[in-house]
Amino acid sequence: MKNKSSNNRKIVSIGQIAGWLAVFVVLILFFNTSGTKETTLDYSAFKQKVATAEVADLTVAPSIISGMYKNDKGQFVPFKTVRMEDPNLVQELSAAKITYKAEQDRSWIGNILFNVLWIVLLIGLWWFIFIRPQRSDGKSAMNFARSKAKMQDPSKQTVTFKDVAGCEEAKEELEDVIKFLKNPKKFQKLGGKLPKGVLLYGAPGTGKTLLAKAVAGEAGVAFFSASASEFVEMFVGVGAARVRDLFEQAKKNSPAIIFIDELDAVGRRRFAGIGGGHDEREQTLNQLLIELDGFESKQGIILMASTNRPDVLDPALIRPGRFDRHISVPAPDLKGREEILKVHAKKVKLAPEVDLKIVAKGTPGFVGADLANVVNEAAILAARADKEAVTSVDLDEAVERVLAGPQKKSRIISKHEQHVIAAHEVGHTVVARLTNHSDPVHKVTIIPRGQALGYTLQLPLEDKFLTSKSELLDKLCILLAGRAAEEIVFGEITSGASDDLNKTMAYARKMVVELGMSEKLGPIALPNGDDGEVFLGRDLSRHKTYSEELARTIDEEILNLIRTSYARAKDIIISHRVAFDKLVETLLQKEVVEASEIDEILGLKPAVVENQPAIKPAENEHTPKEEPKAPKATRPEAQQAGLFD
């Protein structure tokens, strides 16, 4: 097979050379025949023209005379004539007042250089642009249809499953791929076939690409990595050609793994959007489907791909027989976060008092990329302070930098605005601490971070995968507490609650429309135009599935939830006004108040594991009835106050 492929390459190269030689011949003929043709005059005719002064711009050489002469139409056109032995020529030219210049004949070497050198230069330029890059690294200008996938040598694969943490289930699913690549006969003798394609999907930063590299490192096979966007070009058909070339390279180096990152760049549903589909992307997708049908598992090629949007992929791509194994790579749980922190902390010198389990508890919802950033930021902060090792203080500051951004200590804020921000944040803090189903308050600060002028940080005691109606009602109350505090203290409101209001509206609508948590509407879920369809063309063709009367009822229920929660937040703050004012004064003095001091000012015991306050809530506080739980995002959200929320 190798001899055959080398022969094919020779045939292709010979054909290319022959083609370019033909182009050069055509160019030579063109340049030799292009331009104004010179007329050849007899010497006697030339002498007559000289006598009548009908020549001009003469160039007199020892063997050739050239210049311009007047033809029968009275136009000056170029001519040339062979010079004869004529001693009187110069005198006759001077008598007729004809200008001329003398010139030496070119030698035969000069003629060769003049006529051939430019051809040699063209050939050299052609070799430099097309042949030389092809011999060195294959990146020729004529190779635009070749795949840009990078092949990594199996001996240089250093990433293994030891470098991947927090996704044990995904690693177990990929063990089959590794075992098959190492020992395919074990599966083939029982008639089993490995899935042709493995699709890794999950939120950004969960480690999908790292998992693919670890599979290649564990199996010790060739690894081809490419981004899906590399296939799509301006010219239609280039993407399909690159897909063909990628699979050809993989077959020559089998067993091998092909990894395509961000598959949704070419794998989106066809014939979607305004004006139909995208020809280049759809041709690339069609070629990918053909290649997946074409190769067999016995060839030792595994196609892996990753995406953050599995819902937009074409059904023909993810059906059984193509990408028939789908592996979810979710955000890590508490144990997974601790393991990920240990992996990234291997290269960092930690102080003896650092407990990574505590850091993992304070980072719910963080993915692997976030945790890697936390460790790196902590190391930078420790180095900036000339410390010998990274301390817990550095890690805590790094977590807050990832959550809310760096501190803006240089930002100048007036005393009145500081008072407004403090009251706003204390409103969040007090209501969060005095409701039954909210996450514990970790700290409250009025030190600006990022675009936030202040924030209240709540961290759950444990990972949560379900959210009850009571928890969502408390969430609405907490979000509106900042605006309620501004109205109670100052008698007017500011723009600092803009982000809180946006979140409140989103939560309330989700409760009514999607989660069936409206007592008036009951357990129904209605389409809201955001149910997985991301193409504008389909959105325009979608019709409402409910009446205008039901739409008015939905709006009424949403407004009722928001107004009730706002009134409830105001009641809690008014009932605890003394503690509220004291906490505002403390926050203005210290700028940061921790959980223990918050509980001391409010007269509470520390939050227990069940996440319940140690005292009864205020008499006018509404405690809603428990309802079935609903899905919720696990990442903590800092309550922020500021013009730029």
Nearest to 361 by CA among 383, 332, 319: 332
> Average pLDDT in the 192-204 region?
84
Q: How far is CA 54 from the centre of its chain?
A: 75
Percent of the chain at pLDDT > 90 equals: 25
User: Is-cis flag, bond preceding 255, omega within 30?
Assistant: yes
**Looking at 172-181, 352-361, 522-531, which range is the least confident one?**
522-531
Summarised one tens digit per residue, pLDDT across range 608-643 is: 433 333 333 333 333 333 333 333 333 434 433 333
What lies within 8 Å, CB to CB, of 579 at 6+ separation is 430, 601, 602, 603
Task: Report the C-alpha gap between 500 and 156 in whole angstroms.
Answer: 50
Comparing 593 with 192, which gets the higher pLDDT?
A: 593
Containing H/E element for 406?
none
pLDDT in tens, 93-113: 888 878 777 776 655 566 666
Q: Which residue stretches of 220-328 are H helix?
A: 238-252, 264-267, 279-294
Please compute the mean of the pLDDT values over residues 415-425 and round it to a whole number: 93
Q: pLDDT tens digit string along 113-137?
A: 666 766 777 777 776 665 555 554 4
- CA distances 354 to 14, 346, 363, 401, 594, Å, are 67, 13, 15, 18, 19
Mean pLDDT comparison of 156-160, 202-206, 419-423, highest-scoring range: 419-423
Cβ neighbours of 632 (radius 10 Å): 17
Q: Does 33 have pLDDT greater than 70?
A: no
Note the CATH number of domain 39-105.
Answer: 3.30.720.210
pTM (whole model) above 0.85: no
Find the farthest-apart pair of alpha carbons in the chain and give their distance in angstroms, rounded: 131
User: CA-CA distance, 483 to 431, in Å (whole number)?
Assistant: 12
Span 339-362, average pLDDT: 90
Q: Which of 353, 355, 312, 361 is nearest to 335 (CA)?
A: 361
Characterize 542-576 residue by residue with b for buried, 16 or more Cβ atoms within 10 angstroms of its Cβ, and e for exposed: eeeeeeeeeeebbeebbeebbeebbebbbbbbebb
Q: Which of 241-255, 460-474, 479-493, 540-554 has the lowest mean pLDDT?
A: 540-554
Can you name the CATH fold of 150-328? Rossmann fold (3.40.50)
pLDDT score for 47: 83
Beta bridge partners of 76: 70
366-382 mean pLDDT: 92
Nearest CA-CA partner of 264 in 298, 331, 313, 222: 313
Residue whose entry in the numeric block shows the structure tokens 């890697």? 372
What mean pLDDT comes out for the span 346-358? 90
pLDDT of residue 541: 44
Q: How far apart are CA 49 and CA 104, in angstroms?
A: 23
DSSP secondary structure string for all residues of 596-630 = HHHHHHHT-PPPPTT---SSPPPTT---PPP---B
| Residues of the chain by 3-state class (helix, strand, coil), percent to 5 | 50, 15, 35
Question: Known catalytic residues?
Answer: 425
Task: Check pLDDT > 70 for residue 198.
Answer: yes
Give the residue-averaged pLDDT of 280-300: 75
- So what CATH class is 415-641? mainly alpha
* CB neighbour class for 518 (10 Å; exposed up to 12, middle 13-18, buried from 19): buried
Taking the alpha carbons of 123, 125, 129, 132 in that order, is the dihedral positive or negative?
positive
Among 263, 187, 172, CA closest to 218: 172
d(CA 463, CA 360): 11
**582-600: b (≥16 Cβ within 10 Å) or e:** ebbebbbeeeebebebbbe
Q: Which CATH class is domain 337-404?
A: mainly alpha
Q: What residue segments make up the domains of the chain, in order of their start?
A: 39-105, 150-328, 337-404, 415-641
Average pLDDT value for the chain: 78
